[in-house]
Amino acid sequence: MRALILALLVATPAPADVLVAARTLRAGTLVEAGDVILLSDPAPLGAAQSPDEAVGLEARVTLYARRPIPVASLGPPALVERNQLVTLIFQAGGLEIRADGRALGRGAEGETVRIMNLASRSTVSGTIAGPGLVSVP
């Protein structure tokens, strides 16, 4: 009898909270509190289970209405957009050089992006340090 009860408990998925999109969110949209709904359904593997896991992050892919939100499809918001004018910063010791550049990609803080130096027209890679700021090694 005990084995039968254990088998029934294991065989049926337990309802848990799962986070779904309240409306279709395009890639690049910042997720806000009104964009998500918490439902009591079995949560698929890797799906967000709390609004705290999604609110304030950016949708990396399109999230469809009433479908679970995979945590892997969310990321930090982009601080640099493609074709945006940015400031390149080079620091060595007490020396700091700043130059104007144009972003050739988009990314969030800490990500690497390629930048075209507007003065020399050369392409360099740097790490996004803040809104419109790229640190070049």
For residue 10, pLDDT over 60 is answered with: no
Q: Are residues 62 and 113 in the same domain?
A: no
In a domain, 7, yes or no: no
Q: Are residues 17 and 71 in the same domain?
A: yes
Would you state the pLDDT for residue 27? Answer: 93
Number of structural domains the chain divides into: 2
Confidence of residue 14 (pLDDT cuts 50, 70, 90): low
Decide which of 54, 75, 96 is a domain's last residue: 75
Would you state the pLDDT for residue 61? Answer: 95
In a domain, 103, yes or no: yes
In a domain, 6, yes or no: no
Q: Are residues 102 and 120 in the same domain?
A: yes
* CA-wise closest residue to 16 among 43, 35, 51, 53: 43
In a domain, 2, yes or no: no
Q: Which residues pair with 30 in a beta bridge?
A: 58
Please report, for residues 28, 56, 137, the alpha-carbon distance to residue 49 in angstroms, rounded to integers and kept in the order given.
21, 15, 39
For residue 9, pLDDT over 90 is answered with: no
Decide which of 75, 101, 125 is a domain's last residue: 75
pLDDT per position as a tens digit, 87-136: 999 999 999 999 999 999 999 999 999 999 999 999 999 999 999 999 99
DSSP secondary structure of 18-86: EEEESS-B-TTPBP-GGGEEEEEEPPPTTB--SGGGTTTSEESS-B-BTSB-BGGGEEPPPSB-TT-EE
Return the structure tokens found at 98.
């700043």
Residue 8 has phi, psi (to 5 degrees) of -65, -40
Structural domain of 28 = 13-75
pLDDT per position as a tens digit, 53-78: 999 999 999 999 999 999 999 999 99
pLDDT per position as a tens digit, 20-36: 999 999 999 999 999 99
List the CATH number of the domain containing 118.
2.30.30.760
Would you state the pLDDT for residue 11? Answer: 47
